[in-house]
Structure 1
């Protein structure tokens, strides 16, 4: 794990955007396409607003989410709604987006269709993770009965998750699929998140704090992008 600390979130977002743009340009130059996995919530919104203005051939970029709440994008708490409103704008409006929602009665019933959507995705070029105060990342919640499956080596690419400490059913990429990336980032803002990160570093128990699966991974090595404010 490499920790990159910044004076504030604006400085963080500018450097982070530059790094991601370089990764995407390199992928397009070498392989003709780029694949970016982002996270939802408030933390990445400033980053998205910098990324969407980048002079890049966005028509060759495919974007998806590490996880999403099982909600249509008409709902305010949908991560897809956030990504469409803040990232898939300006220049980045030309990118292809892969949704993790399908209109079924439950998240479990949506999984077969969603697995078909993502089955041909190659190694990701960059994955951006977030982290909760409980050490969850994506929707790999330590409180959920699905956590062992989500962290398993033989896990499917996507799974339905039913957290007991957070609202909504979720759809999440598994640990193994998220680790299948050329670059791996953890985006953190707030002093309390550094405390959680230090707690996670102190042990190997992934079931208690799933972020440990990524902190202790070596290839790719996790780059932590952190600002206290």
Structure 2
């Protein structure tokens, strides 16, 4: 691991790796250490992760870490509004690649519910997230368009989701791709995490990140809402 110059705000920690395997191993070791520390201090730990294909290697490495998983709550930064049996479900992804072996003892607090509408599902998830303990570790991803979680540029609920001091923990969100209906934790809830990590790979995402640090319009590039000295960045080509 090396510290890299990504033209980031002063104080922001950034680490680069030669490949995805190295990144996954280092990230899993770091996150596991943070969770152990939280368990030692509070008797429990809460981890919030993002879905998609990118975190699979990290999930599998983390599942192999020695940890009292029975004291860990895992939740999702965002979710596609699909049943948990659906191949695009983030909850299914986490169960398949993270909650295996000893890690299966962790409690998963998902966002999906069977509801008559996306908004009703978001309201149900908002109520469920009232039971989420304080977030110890948050691991975010980012798209080439600068979205993180399911905070997508131009989505109808984006301004509310990015507002500071709002009452909602979860909102309905529309993505520009299929499946386009999403549920996302709001900025306030995500930013409440004690440890915030952004894990990205590839030149395109690095270019997006470099663009993001040069402006302050969070609705244009929602990742900007989290670019501050409390964020740690993991990157590989």
| Pair in the same fold by TM > 0.5 | yes
Q: Residues 170-220 of structure 1: CA distance to partner in whole angstroms, max 9, x if unpaired?
A: 1100011000011000110112111111011110110100000001x33xx
Number of corresponding residues: 225
1:180 is aligned to 2:189:
no
Q: Distance in 2 between matches of 1:5 and 1:138?
A: 22
Q: Residues 138-193 of structure 1: CA distance to partner in whole angstroms, max 9, x if unpaired?
A: 00011201110000113311111123455321110001100001100011011211
Deviation at 1:65, TM superposition (A): 0.5
TM-score, normalization by structure 2: 0.92
1:207 is aligned to 2:219:
yes
SS at match of 1:28: helix
SS at match of 2:14: strand
1:55 is aligned to 2:66:
yes
Q: 1:41 aligns with which of 35, 49, 52?
A: 52
SS at match of 2:91: helix
CA contact (8 A) 1:143 1:165 kept: no
Q: Distance in 1 between matches of 2:85 and 2:108?
A: 16
Q: CA RMSD in A?
A: 1.1
In the alignment, what sits opposite 2:5? none
**After TM superposition, which residue ranges in structure 1, 4 or more long, deviate above 3 angstroms?**
none
Q: Distance in 2 between matches of 1:111 and 1:82?
A: 20
Q: Which moved more, 1:157-166 or 1:199-208?
A: 157-166
Question: Where in structure 2 are the equivalents of 1:78-227 lying within 5 Å?
Answer: 78-155=89-166, 156-215=168-227, 217-218=228-229, 221-227=230-236
SS at match of 1:104: coil
TM-score, normalization by structure 1: 0.95
Deviation at 1:112, TM superposition (A): 2.7
CA contact (8 A) 2:136 2:195 kept: yes
Q: Distance in 2 between matches of 1:204 and 1:113?
A: 32
Q: Distance in 2 between matches of 1:44 and 1:98?
A: 18
Deviation at 1:121, TM superposition (A): 2.2
Deviation at 1:97, TM superposition (A): 0.1
